[in-house]
């Protein structure tokens, strides 16, 4: 059997549009973090991987390998056909696992033996992770100014920023990357991202914005769900030019209702309330509980804004050393227009 040739992560990134990527790790590993554009053709399911790992620890490598062979053998024809079809669309096909070890080597060897030439990623996805960490450290050294959009909960900040992103402005959609809106209710209806997954998406976006002279972000806490923001973004937020969006209270209530869809995500909303309840005033918590029993979600949102989130965030805004530029708007379209007007005054316009 021919020796499987290896390819570096730098070469894979440089030729990404010409390379088909095959991730042979378990679905759980793939979901937590994978190279963008890769497809998952797993050797083991999540349960099978856990069983093999337990055998390795308790009975040793030989027994674990024997069991692994029994599990994988029936899957090989389907795996081969899946990879072969995928490979037709690319100049090269690269197989990877976690460290560039047995899993990817075994699959690449079989593919090559069957006449479908593949390469093995040197160092596995761990080499990609090292590249991301190194590049983020380099991005952290850049001295680009930040434009920060803040406002009370429901002020349509995210929608305004996403509209600006579509227009070509250098927006970092931190909540989108995190798969979380930031509060204890922030995961409702969303799929929270892992730290590695978030940093991969951030890395991709920062590479896209390499020529941008500044970044635009929403004012976020250091933690968004499971994700911790890099220190350079926190510093950018604290020292950036701030715009405070003022949005009508009832429209904020409506915006939150539409974003969280409480009738569709009733269980998740109530579960988040239970987690938060111990931090609430007992009388307030009881009033919210009564509204939950009546399924009066507009009242629940109004109560949380008036008695919890608005006081909480109004206090946080006072921690900044400088004043924000206030923009009173009544729609996303107006918010976008007002911000574009202000950015124009600062000569911060999107590149053509």
Mean pLDDT, residues 337-346: 94
Based on the fold, state whether residues 37 and 176 are members of the same structural domain.
no
- Determine the distance from the C-alpha atom of residue 99 to the mean position of all C-alpha atoms in its chain, rounded to a whole number: 23
The DSSP element (H or E) to which 150 belongs, if any, is strand 146-151
Q: How confident is the model at residue 351 (pLDDT cuts 50, 70, 90)?
A: low
Q: Which residues contact 256 (CB under 8 A, 6 or more apart)?
A: 153, 154, 301, 305
Q: How confident is the model at residue 247 (pLDDT cuts 50, 70, 90)?
A: very high
Report if residue 339 sits inside a domain: yes
Q: In the block, which residue shows the tokens 């009173």?
A: 328
Based on the fold, state whether residues 316 and 179 are members of the same structural domain.
yes
Q: CB of 329 within 8 A of CB of 335?
A: yes
pLDDT reported for residue 239: 93
Report if residue 351 sits inside a domain: no
Based on the fold, state whether residues 28 and 155 are members of the same structural domain.
no
Report if residue 350 sits inside a domain: no
Domain that holds residue 51: 6-128
With pLDDT > 70 as the criterion, what percentage of the chain qualifies?
99
DSSP state string for 50-95: HHHHHHHHHH-HHHHHHHHHHHHGGGHHHHHHHHHHHHTTSSEEEE
Based on the fold, state whether residues 164 and 296 are members of the same structural domain.
yes
Q: What is the pTM of this model?
A: 0.93
The DSSP element (H or E) to which 19 belongs, if any, is strand 19-23
pLDDT reported for residue 169: 96
DSSP 3-state assignment of 31? helix
pLDDT reported for residue 96: 98
Residue 97 annotated in active site: yes
Residue 78 pLDDT exceeds 90: yes
DSSP 3-state assignment of 267? helix
Q: Which residues contact 302 (CB under 8 A, 6 or more apart)?
A: 249, 253
Residue 350 pLDDT exceeds 80: no
Gap between the Cα atoms of 156 and 170, Å rounded = 18
Mean pLDDT, residues 328-348: 93
Length of the chain: 352
Gap between the Cα atoms of 324 and 149, Å rounded = 9
Q: CB of 195 within 8 A of CB of 227?
A: yes
Based on the fold, state whether residues 339 and 288 are members of the same structural domain.
yes
Report if residue 134 sits inside a domain: no
Based on the fold, state whether residues 314 and 185 are members of the same structural domain.
yes
DSSP state string for 324-336: PEEEE-SSHHHHH
Report if residue 109 sits inside a domain: yes
Based on the fold, state whether residues 278 and 146 are members of the same structural domain.
yes
Candidate list 7, 97, 200, 339, residue with the active-site label: 97
**What is the number of domains present in the chain?**
2
Based on the fold, state whether residues 287 and 151 are members of the same structural domain.
yes
Out of 67, 93, 128, a domain closes at 128
Q: What is the CA radius of gyration of the chain?
A: 25
Based on the fold, state whether residues 183 and 122 are members of the same structural domain.
no
Which CATH number is 72's domain given? 3.40.250.10
What are the beta bridge partners of residue 246? 328
The DSSP element (H or E) to which 39 belongs, if any, is strand 39-40
Residue 17 pLDDT exceeds 50: yes
* Residue 135 burial (CB count, 10 A): 16
Mean pLDDT, residues 36-42: 97
The DSSP element (H or E) to which 237 belongs, if any, is helix 231-239
Based on the fold, state whether residues 197 and 341 are members of the same structural domain.
yes
Lowest mean pLDDT among 142-156, 190-204, 274-288, 311-325: 311-325
Q: CB of 21 within 8 A of CB of 37?
A: yes
Which CATH number is 283's domain given? 3.40.50
Q: How confident is the model at residue 319 (pLDDT cuts 50, 70, 90)?
A: confident
Taking only the tens place, the pLDDT of each residue in 209-230 is 999 999 999 999 999 999 999 9
244-264: b (≥16 Cβ within 10 Å) or e: bbebeeeebbebbbebbebee
Lowest mean pLDDT among 1-10, 98-107, 143-152: 1-10
pLDDT reported for residue 125: 97
pLDDT reported for residue 316: 78
Lowest mean pLDDT among 162-166, 223-227, 319-323: 319-323
Based on the fold, state whether residues 51 and 148 are members of the same structural domain.
no
pLDDT reported for residue 1: 46
Based on the fold, state whether residues 171 and 305 are members of the same structural domain.
yes
Q: CB of 1 within 8 A of CB of 113?
A: yes
């Amino acid at each position: 059997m021919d020796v499987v040739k290896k390819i570096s992560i730098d070469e894979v990134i440089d030729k990404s549009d010409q390379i088909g990527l095959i991730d042979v790790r378990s679905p759980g590993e793939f979901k937590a973090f994978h190279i963008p554009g890769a497809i998952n053709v797993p050797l083991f399911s999540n349960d099978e991987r856990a069983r093999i790992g337990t055998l390795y620890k308790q009975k040793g490598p030989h027994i674990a390998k024997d069991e692994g062979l029994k599990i994988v053998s029936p899957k090989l024809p389907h795996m081969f056909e899946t990879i072969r079809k995928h490979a037709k669309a690319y100049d090269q096909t690269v197989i990877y696992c976690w460290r560039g070890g047995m899993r990817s080597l075994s699959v690449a060897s079989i593919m090559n033996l069957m006449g479908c030439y593949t390469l093995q990623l040197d160092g596995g996805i761990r080499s990609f992770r090292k590249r991301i960490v190194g590049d983020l450290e380099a991005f952290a050294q850049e001295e680009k100014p930040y434009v920060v959009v803040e406002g009370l909960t429901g002020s349509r900040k995210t929608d305004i920023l996403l509209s600006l992103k579509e227009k070509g402005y250098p927006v970092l959609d931190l909540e989108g990357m995190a798969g979380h809106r930031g509060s204890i209710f922030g995961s409702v209806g969303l799929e929270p991202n892992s730290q590695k997954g978030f940093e991969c998406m951030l890395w991709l976006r920062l590479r896209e914005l390499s020529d941008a002279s500044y970044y635009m972000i929403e004012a976020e806490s250091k933690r968004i769900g499971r994700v911790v923001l890099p220190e350079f973004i926190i510093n950018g937020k604290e020292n950036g030019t701030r715009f405070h969006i003022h949005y009508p209270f009832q429209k904020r209530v409506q915006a939150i209702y539409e974003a969280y869809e409480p009738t569709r995500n009733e269980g998740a909303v109530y579960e988040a309330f239970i987690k938060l309840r111990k931090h609430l005033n007992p009388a307030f918590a009881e009033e919210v509980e009564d509204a939950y029993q009546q399924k009066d979600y507009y009242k629940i949102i109004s109560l949380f804004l008036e008695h919890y989130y608005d006081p909480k965030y109004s206090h946080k805004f006072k921690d900044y050393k400088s004043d924000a530029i206030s923009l009173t708007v009544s729609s996303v379209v107006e918010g976008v227009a007002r911000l574009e007007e202000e950015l124009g005054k600062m000569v911060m316009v999107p590149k053509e």
